[in-house]
Chains A and B, each alone.
Chain A
Amino acid sequence: MKQGFTYLFRFLLYLILIAPLLLFAAYAFSTRWFFPQPFPIEWTVGTFQRVVHDSQTLSSMVQGVGIAFLVSVLSLLLALPAARVLGLRKFRGRQLAWLLIFIPSIVPPLAVGMGLNILFLRIGLAGTITGVVLAHIIPTLPYTIFTLSSAFARFDENYEFQALALGASPLQIFLKVTLRMITPSLVVAALFAFLISWSQYLLTLLIGGGQIITLPILLFSAASGGNPATIAALSLLFVAPPVLVLAFTARSLNQHGNEIREQY
């Protein structure tokens, strides 16, 4: 009986997660599906092919993934030192530092974006990939710092002292010990940064100024166009990279989670 409930619960959970995707798939791969019909009658890959073969779709995806990747890397690099200090040390003004780090995600993104746009226009970063990447770092940084600082709060510096006493150089300690110890959180933080950047619409639009086209921008313009099949096809493409990244990291996360559990 109890097991039956578990299975039912699981089924419902999966259904909630998968149902929207199924709906998207139904829209994307059908044609002439109108109101009274409960299910599509004619199936076609035509719409999907058209969307995929549109050169703008592909380039927007490549650009979006590239930006998200760069944002992940830069955000991690910036977050590491801050997270280390915030996680390991107690100092006066720590709360204030946290507040400052979180302010960009509290202030409405429109306000941040507009202000940033004026600044970037002045220094020539508006409409460039560099500008968009820098702008994306603002909403991602609080999450990467937060995730990594909790890893450092659990981190015991004696591992580094051990490595030091055994003759490792500071660089070796960082690469062979510190990074390895916080890998699970590093993966999670990178994932956060990637997802936030990938789905960023407003900042890309404001800073990119129509010159940097990522998939959310295409999706928004398609959504206002009103062709459900195109919207559905683009939406499926939109969820593909996050799902892939998630699938890839879930495996390594599980593996590293076990290793962390082993040490206690």
Chain B
Amino acid sequence: MTTVNIISLNKTYPNQSLPVLKDFSLSLNDGEMVALLGPSGMGKSTLLKLITGIERPDSGDIQFDSSSILNVDPNKRGAVLMFQKSYLFPFLNVEDNIGFGLKVQGASSETIHTEVKRMLNLIGLPGIEKRKPGQLSGGEGQRVALARALVTNPKLLLLDEPLSSLDTTVRMNLQEAIRNIQRELGVTTIFVTHDLGEAMAMSDRMALLLNGEIVALDKPENLFHRPRSLAAARFMGVSTFLSGSQLPVKKDVCSSSEKMFAIRPEHIRIQKEACKDSTPGVVSDCVFRGEYIEYQVNINEMIVRARMPMPAPMFTHGEQVYVKFAEEYLFEVEN
């Protein structure tokens, strides 16, 4: 349906010295869902405002299907929003809420009626047409908000932390629901979140955003297993970084000390006995998380965090252990 090109956007708010977005570029294929992941206040919401036309960029371009939309009125752009709060109009019932977009665009009442019915079936809540937003649960409200956004057949769907205020079970269900509906309708989607798990579960590609710039952009599985840069690796939950000289295993590719290597916490093994290429250390902290145990081991004043899946050997605070970095899981990162 729509390919989206965002080309070197710059945006600095007046009275602020630092830019919110710096040479920001991103391309989305037709029907693709790209997650924008980053700490709050990193320009994600500003980007959505630029796309919907609430704000104007200082420079750069936004294109839908290769034609610029910067001079298109915000209400003609076809970019719809879904926020953390449903923002359903409290004075309208569910049917009129979902039908709002069609109505203001001048659709006939029969069209609205059938479309609303179709959307309610799609979101799995048939028959709630006459309910008021106040009578819906948080999850239902978000489903209706999604239906209201999608009924207009938008070019681009923008999701701004849509699940952040929901509890875990509802959240999981909705992740699935949104993902399925998005795939079924094939609507191009930008999904803004600060939750890594959610971004990985839902998106086709993931962009890591830091200080208004994309530091990494790839499929979730690639980013998870092999983040290229130090910043990206930190984002993905990696906390152990070793310089070439600190490596207990001598990777044949390079043993020079300028290179940085990283390893995911779940690939670090902690054991009682020494073995080949293991390093001695002292357990400084131990947290039982149910599915896994988190250990912090002190190796020559460097703290290494390991995550051992259960069942795992239990070590106590202060115990002498040996840490093994599995060679096949060590990867190089750019500093």
B-contacting residues of A (Cβ < 8 Å)?
A: 156, 158-159, 161-169, 172, 176-177, 180-181, 183, 259-263
| 10 cross-chain CB contacts under 8 A | A158-B85, A161-B54, A162-B83, A163-B104, A164-B52, A164-B75, A166-B100, A180-B91, A259-B132, A262-B133
B76 partner residues in chain A, CB cutoff 8 A: 167
The yes or no answer to B152 lying at the interface (CB within 8 A) is yes
A261 CA / B90 CA spacing, docked (Å): 9
On chain B, the number of residues with a Cβ less than 8 Å from chain A's Cβ atoms is 28
Does the CB pair B104–A167 fall under 8 Å? yes
Minimal beta-carbon separation of B56 from chain A (angstroms): 14
A156–B80 Cα gap in the complex (Å)? 18
Cα separation A163 to B100 with both chains bound (whole Å): 8
Which residues of chain B come closer than 8 Å to A162, judged between CB atoms?
81, 83, 87, 148
Counting CB contacts under 8 A, is B105 at the interface?
A: yes
Which residues from A are CB-within-8-Å of B135? 262
Give B35 Cβ to nearest chain A Cβ, in Å. Answer: 20
Asked if B64 CB lies within 8 Å of chain A CBs, one says no
Bound form: Cα–Cα A180–B100 in Å: 14
Is the CB–CB distance between A172 and B104 below 8 Å?
Answer: yes
Neighbouring B residues of A263 by C-beta, 8 Å: 90, 133-134
A164 and B77 CA atoms in complex are apart in Å by 10
Residues of chain B within 8 A (CB-CB) of A164 are 52-54, 74-75
B91 and A166 within 8 A (CB):
no
Q: Are A259 and B90 in contact (CB under 8 A)?
A: yes
Chain A, interface SS category: helix
Chain A residue numbers with a CB within 8 Å of B104 are 163, 166-169, 172, 176
Interface residue B248 (Cβ < 8 Å from any Cβ of A): no
Q: Given the known A-B contacts A164-B52, A262-B132, A263-B133, are A159 and B89 also in contact in the complex, defined by CB atoms under 8 Å? A: yes
Q: What chain A residues lie within 8 Å of B101 (beta carbons)?
A: 166-168
Known: A158-B83, A262-B132. A168 touches B75 (CB 8 A): yes
Q: Is A156 touching B74 in the complex (CB atoms < 8 A)?
A: no
Q: How far is the CA of A252 from the CA of B52 in the complex (A)?
A: 36
- Other-chain contact of B89, A169, A180, A183, A261 (Cβ < 8 Å): A180
In the complex, what residues of B have CB within 8 A of residue A159's CB?
Answer: 87, 89
Residues of A within 8 A of B87 (CB): 156, 158-159, 162
> Contact at A166–B133, with CB atoms within 8 Å?
no
User: Are B90 and A262 in contact, CB atoms less than 8 angstroms apart?
Assistant: yes
Which residues of A lie under 8 Å from residue B133 when comparing CB positions? 262-263
Would you call B79 an interface residue if the criterion is a C-beta within 8 Å of the partner chain's C-beta atoms?
yes
Within 8 A of A (CB), among B84-108: 85, 87, 89-91, 100-101, 104-105
Chain B positions 118-165 with a Cβ under 8 Å from a chain A Cβ: 132-135, 148-149, 152
Chain A proximity of B80: nearest CB distance (Å): 5
Which residue of B54, B83, B132, B152 contacts A166 across the interface (Cβ within 8 Å)? B152
The 3 closest A-B pairs by CB, nearest first: A262-B134, A166-B101, A263-B90
From B75, B80, B85, B134, name the one whose CB has the most chain A CB atoms within 10 angstroms: B75
Pick the most buried of B53, B81, B90, B100: most chain A CB atoms within 10 A of its CB.
B90
Question: How far apart sit A176 and B89, CA to CA, in the bound complex (Å)?
Answer: 10
Which residues of the partner chain B approach A259 to less than 8 Å between Cβ atoms?
90-91, 132, 134
Closest-by-CB residue of B relative to A261 is B134
A183 to B89, CA, bound (A): 13
CB distance from A46 to the nearest CB of B (A): 50
Would you call B90 and A177 a contact (CB within 8 A)? no
Question: Which chain B residue lies CB-closest to A260?
Answer: B90
Closest B residue to A256 by beta carbon equals B91
Residue of B nearest to A172 (CB): B104
Question: How far, in angstroms, from A159 to B90 measured CA to CA in the complex?
Answer: 10
Q: B48 to nearest A CB, angstroms?
A: 10
- How many Å lie between the Cα of A156 and that of B88 in the bound state? 12
In chain B, what residue has the closest Cβ to A263? Answer: B90
Complex CA–CA separation, A167 to B132 (angstroms)? 22
Task: Collect the chain A residues with CB atoms within 8 Å of residue B152's CB.
Answer: 166-167
One digit per residue, 1 when the CB lies within 8 angstroms of any chain A CB and 0 when it does not, for chain B 209-238 equals 000000000000000000000000000000
* Contact pattern, B 18-33, Cβ under 8 Å of A = 1, otherwise 0: 0000000000000000
